[in-house]
Structure 1
């Protein structure tokens, strides 16, 4: 062991690695206690039935359900929530590493059903531990001239301004789909005005404090500059059927006897309209086009979907009572991130599995952190010849 350390200490940059390792060990030590605190919180909070759940911090389990779904961009799966991420293998300094280039996440408010009742879930700000539905790496081939990236992934990249530049990429997608079994720890509180609709909402995760978009050539918020230049384009609530150009198609499923009504916003502004004839979203789309802003992030920030995301509602072909009518779209209470107790956790695993995972993680961090720090401290001492 001493011989191995002596050989390692001869490296010129080893002291930097050892210093970072010592700091990482300290971080893991304190992180372990936070994980342990989460474990105790989940273990001490009794699991409630939705029908009898009281206001405040609750634990519930059930199946995800809802009147609307959207299609995930990579897998094309109907879902209530998705997060699609792309990393590119890039040169960073002297080394190559995975650099995240795309992180897109949208959700629709959905319900949790445990056969005793339903509760509306607003996943905004939740810490999510959900199933990974897609994970692939793509590398260019020297022996093939064909595109090495599938069409669905290529379209997703192009929608975010990234073409097929023959670089190695890694793609992942996570979804909450209909009838997924979920375990949720959150705050049951009075609905602050959340209404269920087919309009996808950009998701802020537990570690995010806000969403900003960086567009080349703009030093200020591009959306704000557009709104300032067009006073008539003040913020409004965008209803599903008030899109600038609505393309509606129906796909009939003979097995289920239902049809999917797909509503998509088109960014096409080729047909001129008078200002009085244009809707709020048409005015914003026209202003973005006139300003030369084609970045999908800016269109999304303006509340306008440039095309890749579609919202679907399942409705019977005969037009009678629909699935939407089976849901209370404006419930009095909702399960969300609380103001006084911000703990909000959504997992696809059972409570028992969650507790087991948190248990071994906390033990690993609490014991492994100090060991890592001591080992790195020993390397630092040897490096600077204190021993």
Structure 2
């Protein structure tokens, strides 16, 4: 399972609009991975003496270390971006060093997007060559489009061509990313087949083609709950090596992930660390894990499962929102009441069936759990 720590933006970082002449650039809310972790990437590059594939910024070993964390010979600490089996990362990195594209598959909240961003940042130094998959994604987003003013004025030309992120990655030998591949219509998906198999992108209007240079590859992500939406064709699936990102294996692993991410998000939002945080994080994670599994942590009681995913990402959101509530409207201590509203919103997606599941869990499990009386009372007060 991945963790998604975000470095705190600093004044003067690459930013959006400025107000008035001579104004300092506003700090961005979220930096790209290659900017947020530039110091770690530079330290790895300086001490990386292993073979690097052509146009890679780091060796495969260094890329895996960047994602999983470690300490370098000079004492530099590389923070983990992914908490889970290192072997999963090694397989993903190795895939990108071959001629096969990489498909990251998993349930919502397993940080597929985060892992793909960090892989692209470590390999190419640029994680922005991104195609966001939706039901309305056109073929132009994967292949190329046209500047219609130029096209009408002068006809098809290289100046009128608007390259897609994939075309730019091919020309420059970098990593392209496609998010939510199975959300993209099947005919648009299949425009990737020639790109991935022949490593070329024909431009018939110009009688030419773009050939991928060494260093090019593609990372796609897909939600395995989207099966049946726009299934990949067998021809396209063969062009990918699939790596499944699992949910956290243990309670302690998931607590670590949520704690790390909430801490980073809190700093970026100027939220202080509050007393009670560790206890409430453990409670939120425990509730989510038990409802996901349909079984209490001690294995003694079966519980019904709601319709939602109750992912680690949702747990992070619940706790972060709780921190904001405690900071701005509370007494400066993160309490059960600050997180129960968020838990209710995450669990109860179906107002009838899921609410019944939540009530049975509260009365059958939480009510009898030692040390959870405050959580039980807070959950009842928010309408459970």
Shorter-normalised TM range: under 0.3
Structure with higher RCO (Cα < 8 A, 6+ apart)? 1
Greater helix content: 2
User: What TM-score comes out, normalization by structure 2 length?
Assistant: 0.21
Greater strand content: 1
